[in-house]
């Protein structure tokens, strides 16, 4: 009996030691730095598992989807009901002093930010280039930064598959040849947006795989947005016209009262969709999915 007791005690101590060894191993594995390669080939040493991420880009929704809470985000972009941003701390994306006070261990900025070298003295700083990646690739890259690449890949694939199926359903109802234009119709100016420029373009063009108006596509510069002369409005407007506005309703200005607007094909056929700019400006997985739900409902309603 005494021998059996001693044997069991030894076994218990062995299991505890193994458990502690695994914890120590995991702890060491989760600490330290790793090298991240930016889109231009630059190497940045970042924490393997950052705990205080400062997001000075429009990617808050990517981190929210991954279960990561940034210590603060940029103040440049509006609140979105899709992202529930009301309680998130915001700072000026060029305010180095404000960033330093937050003591981040990883900073994410746009490549165009003039203070990136100063941010890099505070914490490892990763600059990203707008439009170099689609919404899926962007999410996966954000996942890499916080050691959640596999989760990000799974989430991106799941949404991509869902939107592709929804796109087929939409095309089956409205036709494969229908074209789409995304425009911001202001009092004095009109702007048009191509793929990878927010405003719902990721859901429409990349998610649903719907077609751009061919003449607008041909005229669109590499930046994927352009100012449209009023006399070209109907030339660049597709079968469906998508208008992000401040309140998600039809603009109240002289242009929408003009003959140019009234003679527009999409306007005459009731194929104009209005939606809120605050939600449409983002292109993270949460926002793209919500935008897609709205567009699908409206497009099938307009069939």
H helices present in the chain, as ranges: 2-30, 60-66, 96-101, 116-122, 135-145, 149-174, 201, 214-219, 233-236, 259-262, 265-268, 277-280, 285-301
Lookup: tokens for 55: 């997001």
Residues 179 and 114 in one domain: no
- Give residue 302's pLDDT: 61
- Please report the DSSP string for 205-216 in residue order: IIIS-PEEPHHH
- Give residue 26's pLDDT: 40
Residues 119 and 176 in one domain: no
Check pLDDT > 50 for residue 294.
yes
Q: Strand, coil or helix: what is 144?
A: helix
Measured between alpha carbons, how far is residue 136 from residues 106, 141, 155 in Å?
Answer: 22, 9, 9
Residues 110 and 40 in one domain: yes
Residues 170 and 107 in one domain: no
Range of the domain at 66: 32-130
On whether residue 252 sits in a domain, the answer given is yes
On whether residue 138 sits in a domain, the answer given is no
On whether residue 264 sits in a domain, the answer given is yes
Residues 281 and 179 in one domain: yes
CB atoms within 10 A of CB 239: 18
**CA dist., res. 56 & res. 102, Å (int):** 13
On whether residue 149 sits in a domain, the answer given is no
On whether residue 5 sits in a domain, the answer given is no
Look over the chain and give the mean of its residue pLDDT values, rounded to a whole number.
Answer: 90
- Give residue 20's pLDDT: 52
On whether residue 43 sits in a domain, the answer given is yes
Residues 117 and 172 in one domain: no
Residues 169 and 262 in one domain: yes
Q: What pTM was computed for the model? A: 0.88
On whether residue 148 sits in a domain, the answer given is no
**CA dist., res. 119 & res. 151, Å (int):** 28
- Report residue 72: phi and psi, to 5°: -170, 165
Residues 81 and 210 in one domain: no
Residues 297 and 166 in one domain: yes
Residues 289 and 226 in one domain: yes
Measured between alpha carbons, how far is residue 221 from residues 138, 180, 206, 224 in Å?
Answer: 22, 17, 18, 6
Cα first-last separation, the chain: 82
pLDDT band at 22 (very low <50, low <70, confident <90, very high): very low
Residue 212, domain CATH:
3.40.50.1980
Q: Tell which residue, 101, 97, 105, has the closest CA to residue 55.
A: 105
Q: Which of 90, 114, 130 is the last residue of a domain?
A: 130
Q: pLDDT tens, 87-144? A: 899 999 999 999 999 999 999 999 999 999 999 999 999 999 877 789 999 999 999 9
Section 269-293 average pLDDT: 97
pLDDT band at 40 (very low <50, low <70, confident <90, very high): confident
- Give residue 6's pLDDT: 46
On whether residue 21 sits in a domain, the answer given is no
Close Cβ partners of 95 (under 8 Å, ≥ 6 residues apart): none
With pLDDT > 90 as the criterion, what percentage of the chain qualifies? 83
Provide the number of structural domains found in the chain: 2
CB atoms within 10 A of CB 195: 17
Q: Which of 88, 113, 130 is the last residue of a domain?
A: 130
Q: pLDDT tens, 213-272? A: 999 999 999 989 999 999 999 999 999 999 999 999 999 999 999 999 999 999 999 999
With pLDDT > 70 as the criterion, what percentage of the chain qualifies? 89
Residues 116 and 176 in one domain: no
Which range, of 113-117, 185-189, 293-297, averages the lowest pLDDT? Answer: 185-189
- Give residue 89's pLDDT: 96
pLDDT band at 83 (very low <50, low <70, confident <90, very high): very high
Section 33-50 average pLDDT: 92
Residues 166 and 297 in one domain: yes
Q: Strand, coil or helix: what is 41?
A: coil
């Amino acid at each position: 009996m005494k021998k059996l007791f001693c044997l069991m005690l030894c076994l218990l101590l062995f299991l505890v030691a193994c458990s502690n060894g695994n914890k120590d191993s995991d702890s060491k594995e989760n600490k330290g730095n790793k090298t991240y390669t930016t889109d231009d080939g630059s190497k940045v040493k970042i924490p393997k598992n950052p705990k205080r991420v400062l997001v000075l880009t429009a990617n808050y929704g990517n981190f929210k989807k991954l279960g990561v809470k940034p210590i603060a985000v940029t103040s440049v972009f509006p609140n979105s009901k899709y992202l529930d941003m009301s309680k998130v701390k915001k700072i000026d994306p060029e305010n180095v002093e404000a960033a330093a006070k937050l003591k981040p261990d990883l900073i994410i900025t746009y490549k165009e930010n003039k203070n990136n070298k100063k941010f890099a003295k505070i914490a490892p700083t990763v600059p990203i280039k707008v439009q170099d990646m689609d919404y899926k690739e962007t999410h996966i890259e954000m996942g890499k930064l916080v050691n959640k690449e596999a989760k990000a890949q799974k989430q991106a694939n799941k949404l991509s598959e869902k939107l592709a199926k929804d796109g087929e359903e939409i095309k089956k109802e409205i036709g494969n040849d229908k074209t789409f234009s995304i425009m911001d119709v202001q009092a004095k100016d009109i702007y048009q947006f191509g793929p990878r420029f927010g405003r719902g373009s990721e859901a429409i063009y990349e998610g649903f795989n719907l077609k751009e108006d061919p003449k607008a596509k041909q005229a669109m510069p590499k930046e994927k947005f352009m100012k449209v002369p009023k006399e070209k409005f109907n030339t660049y407007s597709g079968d469906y016209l998508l208008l992000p506005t401040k309140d998600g309703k039809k603009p109240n200005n002289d242009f929408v009262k003009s003959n140019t607007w009234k003679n527009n094909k999409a306007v005459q056929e009731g194929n104009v969709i209005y939606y809120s700019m605050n939600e449409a400006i983002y292109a993270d997985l949460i926002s793209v999915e919500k935008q897609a739900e709205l567009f699908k409902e409206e497009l099938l309603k307009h069939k």
